[in-house]
């Protein structure tokens, strides 16, 4: 299978161990801004926009989690990075898990932030395909207005998320929903991951509840979980300090300190 990668838009801060922060759906790299000042003296932060989102090319042919992982590999090659810690938020976590499976030799550590290894249940898959149909017929407002209250209970954060989602293309949102519905069950390869693995979960997450993190962590060799009591689905915005501290622990573990 030929994977036709694109050049992702990217922003970098700091120096040291490369830490790639991959945003979730249907967002962009802006979500990580609250943790940038807290971590940029500790690592080389690499914030891409996934294809279709933010400032990256809106090329959606063959959109899949596997293809998005190939885009991240191409980004590492472009930046001359041999190994990186890959941290993915929600859908970004699905991409990070595909990366871990396809390119283990390029991985120094893995973090899932409000994410999971499970594939969609038949009901969840069906609901996604219905959402895709609704977005196509009603436009981006359907998801820009409906989704933020599920992501966080903080009204200011909801407002910021509404603005980010409003910039999305309908075709990209539909492609990403279908790709998530078709994604593989990553539990199958969790025991093969040889690098330190961190899972950050928000106790109030309505989309991916903490129980998923509990079952995930049992399947990895070197992993631990940080549950943030006040966070929902957006720990990096709702609780930047605790999120940055947890990621710093992973940087230490990946460097053997």
Dump strand ranges (E) for the chain: 10-13, 18-22, 44-48, 84-89, 107-113, 197-202, 223-228
The nearer residue to ligand MLT, 68 or 253, going by C-beta atoms, is 68
The nearer residue to ligand MLT, 124 or 138, going by C-beta atoms, is 124
The nearer residue to ligand MLT, 19 or 165, going by C-beta atoms, is 165
Dump strand ranges (E) for 97-153: 107-113
To ligand MLT, the closest distance from the beta carbon of 160 in angstroms equals 14
The nearer residue to ligand MLT, 24 or 223, going by C-beta atoms, is 24
Q: For binding to ligand MLT (CB under 6 A), which residues are involved?
A: 24-25, 90-91, 180, 207
To ligand MLT, the closest distance from the beta carbon of 109 in angstroms equals 21
Report d(CA 35, CA 15) in Å as an integer: 15
β-pair partners for 21: 87
Report d(CA 150, CA 158) in Å as an integer: 9
To ligand MLT, the closest distance from the beta carbon of 90 in angstroms equals 3
The nearer residue to ligand MLT, 31 or 246, going by C-beta atoms, is 31
State the pairing for strand pair 10-13/44-48.
antiparallel
Phi-psi region of 147 (alpha: psi -120 to 50; beta: other; left: phi over 0): alpha
To ligand MLT, the closest distance from the beta carbon of 216 in angstroms equals 14
Residue keyed to tokens 């809106």: 58
CA dihedral 62, 64, 66, 68 (to 10 degrees): 90
To ligand MLT, the closest distance from the beta carbon of 24 in angstroms equals 3
Annotate 142-156 with b (16+ C-beta within 10 A) or e (fewer). Answer: bbbeebbeebbebee
The nearer residue to ligand MLT, 199 or 253, going by C-beta atoms, is 199
Report d(CA 105, CA 206) in Å as an integer: 34
The nearer residue to ligand MLT, 5 or 28, going by C-beta atoms, is 28
3-state helix, strand, coil split of the chain in percent (to 5) is 50, 15, 35
Is residue 106 within 8 Å of residue 251, measured between CB atoms? Answer: no
């Amino acid at each position: 299978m030929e994977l036709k990668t694109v050049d992702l838009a990217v922003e970098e801060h700091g120096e040291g161990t490369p830490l790639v922060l991959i945003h979730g759906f249907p967002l962009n790299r802006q979500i990580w801004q609250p943790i940038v000042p807290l971590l940029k003296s500790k690592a080389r932060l690499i914030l891409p926009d996934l294809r279709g989102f933010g400032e990256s090319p809106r090329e959606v042919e063959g959109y899949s989690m596997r293809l998005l992982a190939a885009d991240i590999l191409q980004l590492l090659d472009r930046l001359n990075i041999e190994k990186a810690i890959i941290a993915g938020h929600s859908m970004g976590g699905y991409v990070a898990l595909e990366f871990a499976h396809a390119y283990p030799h390029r991985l120094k550590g893995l973090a899932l932030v409000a994410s999971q290894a499970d594939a969609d249940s038949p009901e969840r898959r069906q609901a996604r395909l219905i959402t895709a149909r609704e977005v196509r017929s009603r436009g981006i407002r359907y998801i820009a207005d409906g989704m933020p209250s599920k992501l966080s209970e903080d009204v200011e954060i909801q407002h910021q998320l509404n603005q980010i989602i409003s910039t999305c293309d309908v075709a990209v949102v539909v492609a990403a929903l279908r790709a998530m519905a078709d994604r593989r069950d990553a539990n199958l390869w969790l025991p093969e991951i040889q690098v330190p693995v961190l899972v950050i979960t928000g106790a109030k997450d309505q989309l991916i509840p903490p129980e998923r993190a509990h079952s995930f962590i049992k399947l990895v060799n070197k992993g631990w979980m940080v549950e943030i009591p006040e966070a929902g689905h957006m720990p990096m915005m709702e609780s930047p300090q605790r999120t940055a501290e947890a990621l710093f622990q992973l940087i230490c573990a990946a460097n053997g300190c």
